[in-house]
């Protein structure tokens, strides 16, 4: 009888632990070859030409596969951007106009296997969310392995608060 109970328990544990159903994972993480520090400038509304240029670039995304495809932005591009091996790599750029300071940030690059999309998520944490803050314009950039021409790429920014106080 003891042996029968032990066999029944072992069989139950084995059957309960095999609940995979051969389903693929919902997401597949990709390697980011290089993460560039975000660069920001204060937006001066009195300089109308610069303001219009920045306003047009805000919320823009660029998939850069050649140094010739780098956009004309107020930051310019140094050798870290212009001397990329574009035969093997793609440079992704995102521009954002905002009123928060960047305290920390991190990038995530992955495939959503359910939606069949490639996603770049930029997570920004800030301790300052104030409408009186000056308007900032920021460029985010990462370097990844070469993307196919027909890729469905989604780029989005997630904003979090470092100083959130649940007690208030």
Q: Tens digit of pLDDT for each residue in 40-53?
A: 999 888 888 888 88
Q: How much is the pTM?
A: 0.81
DSSP the chain: -HHHHHHHHHHHHHHHH---TTPPPSEEE--EEEEEEEEEEE--TT-HHHHHHHHHHTT-EEEESSGGG----TT---HHHHT--TTTEEEEEEEEEESB--SEEEEEEEEETTTTEEEEEEEEEES-B-TTSPPEEEEEEEEEEPPPTT--EEEEEEEEETT--TT-
Q: Tens digit of pLDDT for each residue in 55-85?
A: 889 999 999 999 999 999 999 999 999 999 9
């Amino acid at each position: 009888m003891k042996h029968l109970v032990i066999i029944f328990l072992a069989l139950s544990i084995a059957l309960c632990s095999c609940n995979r159903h051969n389903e693929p994972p919902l997401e597949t993480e990709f390697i980011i070859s290089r993460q560039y520090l975000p660069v920001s400038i204060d937006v001066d509304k009195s300089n109308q030409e610069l303001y219009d240029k920045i306003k047009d670039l805000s919320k823009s995304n660029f998939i850069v596969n050649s140094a010739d495809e780098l956009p004309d932005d107020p930051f310019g591009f140094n050798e870290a951007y212009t001397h990329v091996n574009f035969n093997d790599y793609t440079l992704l750029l995102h521009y954002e106009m905002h009123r928060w300071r960047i305290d920390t940030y991190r990038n995530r690059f992955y495939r959503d296997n359910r939606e069949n999309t490639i996603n770049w998520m930029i997570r920004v944490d800030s301790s300052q969310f104030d409408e009186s803050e000056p308007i900032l314009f920021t460029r985010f950039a990462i370097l990844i392995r070469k993307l196919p021409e027909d890729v469905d790429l989604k780029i989005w920014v997630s904003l979090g608060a470092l100083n959130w106080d649940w007690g208030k």
